[in-house]
Amino acid sequence: MPKLVTISGEDIIRSLKLSCQVPGVVEAIATQKVIAEAAQEAGIQVSPEELQLEGDSLRLDQKLVKAKDTWTWLKKHHLSLDEFEELVHDKVLSKKLANHLFSAHVEQFFYEHQLDYVTAITYEVVLDDRDLALELFYALQEEEISFPEIARLYIQEPELRRSRGYKGLQHRKDFRPEIAAAVFAATPPQILKPITTNLGVYLIWVEEIIQPQLDEQLREKIITELFSDWLKQQIECMQIVTQLDSDANSATQEKVLKQA
């Protein structure tokens, strides 16, 4: 017979403290309070139809196909059905508030920050020797060697070597500044002249530069980013006081949020 282990609420709070997770939990609570208050002031409400759609989406994301799967998931996360509905309600409320606050500002933000959404597909090899990098650069220009061959010969990390130095789809912020300037000034397909950094000499093949289109996916991404920044600003303007059992020597837990 399996050994029975009882875990109390106090045990959970103690574990959160010892694993240094309390600040994250407190911030999440404060964030939800900010959302609820702002949504109330804006008169935002959640309809049963919206709850149903969001609930179905959550179950789909968690692969909860059957009712049994849902009940098992709820039990795993110690959620009652009412708490599940509250979770879904909070998700809908957050999305509606984000759209209410920022949907009208997306186009302006996009055109002001359009360069931040340009992406590049690149391959790279990092070398220790600039003279070798230059030699390989000129050999590539003369088509005496191919970039995949260089990657196979000079990349030490196995997975990166197998992918021939492929770095995937990256934004300007994903590159070091001196590399970003060269990459996004390229006319693909193009091999860049070796770039020396404190991490080594970069030999980069720019395969493609992709200009951003303000489609629905990017629109949602911008709204999410603006909303996230707004929430951070709201939290920074708050003084958050938490009192836990062990601190107050009381059976009562109080969480008080005061405007600074």
Mean pLDDT of 170-183: 94
Place of tokens 């979770």: 87
In this structure, what token pair is assigned to residue 231? 């929430």
CATH code, 199: 3.10.50.40
Domain count, the chain: 2
The residues pairing with 205 across neighbouring beta strands, listed in sequence order, are 123, 191
Whether the full predicted model's pTM is greater than 0.95, yes or no, is no
| Backbone dihedral angles phi then psi of residue 207, each to the nearest 5 degrees | -85, -40
Amino acid at residue number 1: M
The residues pairing with 166 across neighbouring beta strands, listed in sequence order, are 123
Checking if the pLDDT of 248 tops 60, the result is no
CATH code, 251: 1.10.4030
| Claim to verify: residue 101 and residue 35 sit in the same structural domain | yes
Mean pLDDT of 166-181: 94
How far apart CA 27 and CA 131 sit, in angstroms, is 52
Give, as one character, the DSSP assignment of residue 128: S
| Claim to verify: residue 229 and residue 253 sit in the same structural domain | yes
Identify the band that residue 241 occupies on the pLDDT scale cut at 50, 70 and 90.
confident
Per 3-state DSSP, the chain is made up of helix, strand and coil in percentages (nearest 5) of: 60, 15, 25
4 in any annotated domain: no
In this structure, what token pair is assigned to residue 8? 């109390």
| Claim to verify: residue 125 and residue 170 sit in the same structural domain | yes
Is 120:210 a contact under the CB 8 Å cutoff? yes
99 in any annotated domain: yes
| Claim to verify: residue 222 and residue 205 sit in the same structural domain | no
CB atoms within 10 A of CB 59: 18
How far apart CA 201 and CA 192 sit, in angstroms, is 11
How far apart CA 209 and CA 197 sit, in angstroms, is 23
The predicted pLDDT at position 244 comes to: 67
139 in any annotated domain: yes
| Claim to verify: residue 126 and residue 255 sit in the same structural domain | no
| Claim to verify: residue 205 and residue 235 sit in the same structural domain | no
How many Cα atoms occupy the beta-carbon half-sphere of 60 within 13 Å? 6
From the list 207, 204, 203, 259, the residue with the least C-alpha distance to 236 is 259
| Claim to verify: residue 56 and residue 125 sit in the same structural domain | no
Tens digit of each residue's pLDDT (9 = 90 or more) over 199-208: 999 999 999 9
How far apart CA 184 and CA 206 sit, in angstroms, is 9
In this structure, what token pair is assigned to residue 143? 């088509």
Identify the band that residue 240 occupies on the pLDDT scale cut at 50, 70 and 90.
confident
CB atoms within 10 A of CB 192: 18
From the list 46, 44, 51, the residue with the least C-alpha distance to 100 is 44
pLDDT: which is higher, 248 or 118 = 118
Domain boundary (210, 231, 248) is at 210
The predicted pLDDT at position 252 comes to: 39
* Gyration radius from the chain CA atoms: 26
Checking if the pLDDT of 255 tops 60, the result is no
CB atoms within 10 A of CB 88: 21
Supply the range of the domain harboring residue 205. Answer: 119-210
Provide the 3-class DSSP secondary structure of residue 209.
strand
Percentage of the chain beyond pLDDT 90 is 87
